[in-house]
């Protein structure tokens, strides 16, 4: 049985029709923006579960969202935005240009960034993260392959309290793992 619905998107009426499991067809324009998404019905309810905006954007994953030129959101609950981006991991996000997020719950942003590690995050140019639970911020052409690591190529600490030693830092209320300094030396409470 075909489902037909009429929706108001961006101030213009759009006809939506299809069968449960079919690709939705939405055509029309609103406020000067061409809106032509494709998605699938969710469990036959008649609600789009995947949305594609712009030519060349493909959202195949359940609850996926793709926007931009040659973007693809194939993972369940994934998002791809920008130019030539692909989010294939479950709940992954790819943004920017030529980025790939294939790890589950991963994020790839910037230009030419690839994240295949699960629960990992990268935002830089030409970077790759293969380790799980890892973060790569900034820089060019850097790789983080270890698990549970944070890679920041250049770090500037704007404020860092000064203490005579570890005992003085603890007495002042700092907890294990907190950064402090003694003169020109950076230290970590242990």
pLDDT tens by residue, 47-94? 344 555 656 778 787 788 888 888 888 888 999 999 999 999 999 999
Q: Strand 79-83 vs strand 65-69: parallel, antiparallel, or unpaired?
A: parallel
**Cβ-based neighbour number of residue 66 at 10 Å:** 32
Q: What is the largest CA-CA distance in the chain?
A: 76
Claim: this prediction has a pTM higher than 0.75: no
CA distance 177 to 40: 47
Domains and CATH numbers, the chain: 3-151 (2.150.10.10), 156-190 (no CATH)
Q: Please write down the HEC assignment for all residues of 99-157.
A: CEECCCCCEEEEECCEECCCCCEEEEECCEECCCCCEEEEEECCEECCCCCEECCCCCC
């Amino acid at each position: 049985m075909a489902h037909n619905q009429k929706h108001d998107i961006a101030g213009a009426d759009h006809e939506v029709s299809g069968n449960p499991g079919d690709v939705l067809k939405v055509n029309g324009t609103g406020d000067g923006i061409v809106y032509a998404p494709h998605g699938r019905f969710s469990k036959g309810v008649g609600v789009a579960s995947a949305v594609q905006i712009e030519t060349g954007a493909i959202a195949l994953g359940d609850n996926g969202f793709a926007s931009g030129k040659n973007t693809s959101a194939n993972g369940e609950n994934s998002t791809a935005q920008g130019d030539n981006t692909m989010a294939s991991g479950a709940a992954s996000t790819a943004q920017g240009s030529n980025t790939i997020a294939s790890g589950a719950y991963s994020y790839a942003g910037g230009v030419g960034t690839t994240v295949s590690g699960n629960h990992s995050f990268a935002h830089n140019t030409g970077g790759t993260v293969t380790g799980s639970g890892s973060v790569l911020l900034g820089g060019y052409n850097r790789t983080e392959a270890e698990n549970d690591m944070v890679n920041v190529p250049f770090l500037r600490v704007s404020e860092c309290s000064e203490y005579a030693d570890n005992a003085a830092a603890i007495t002042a209320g700092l907890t294990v793992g907190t950064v402090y300094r003694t003169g020109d030396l950076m230290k970590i409470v242990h």
